[in-house]
Amino acid sequence: WEMIFPWALLYSIIYWTFCGLAYIFYSYPHRRDVGWCQLMFLIILLAFEAKCLISVRRMYLQRKSNWSDNIILLLNLIAILMLFSQNSINPYFMNWTKIIALAPLWMRGLTWFRIFTPTRYLVTMIFRVFIDFLPFLFLFTYVVFFFAFSWRLSPSLDEDGINQELMTFYLAFIETT
């Protein structure tokens, strides 16, 4: 471990820098200089993945983490290219593209904190909590949609009543924010 730790640390720093640049560029797409820096780091990460693929092809293709790394990098490449040509793209679609590209990138960046002994078990614990939380989240979403659907079907609300109820909800939400 002592022999590969400096290389793992270097890769982690490159990956975390890429994550930070992605956050900045996706938040401020007019900063083209940040976008070009992010693209440079993306090329470095893709070159490393290509080097690993060439050196140990069979083992590389069998590991799911390599596939997820490449998908994450591909999603971010698509987001970067779309941001460079942002004029002709629907802003809602662009926002979803940025979210879909950035969320797995940050989750993968979190896994690189495993190289440090104090954070290794914390990161593992965080991912175990997320995995255990998924069934609850599924059930909670199901119940919320059921109640929302049953509320919309309520016979006591005519068209004006629904609009008034929705306005009350929106006003309450706006005043609390």
pLDDT band of 70, cuts 50, 70, 90: very high
Which of the residue ranges 28-37, 92-101, 122-131, 157-166 would you say has the lowest mean pLDDT? Answer: 157-166
For the chain, give the percent of residues with pLDDT over 70: 84
Q: Which of 82, 85, 88, 130 is nearest to 106 (CA)?
A: 130
In angstroms, the CA 138 to CA 26 distance is 29
- DSSP one-letter string for 53-116: HHHSHHHHHH-HHHHHHHHHHHHHHHHHHHHHTGGGS-HHHHHHHHHHHHHHHHHHHHHGGGGS
Sequence-separated (6 or more) residues with CB below 8 Å from residue 34: 21, 24, 25, 28
Task: Find out whether 82 and 118 touch, Cβ atoms under 8 Å.
Answer: no
In angstroms, the CA 105 to CA 113 distance is 13
pLDDT band of 155, cuts 50, 70, 90: low
Does residue 163 have a pLDDT over 70? no
Does residue 85 have a pLDDT over 90? no
Predicted pLDDT of residue 88: 73
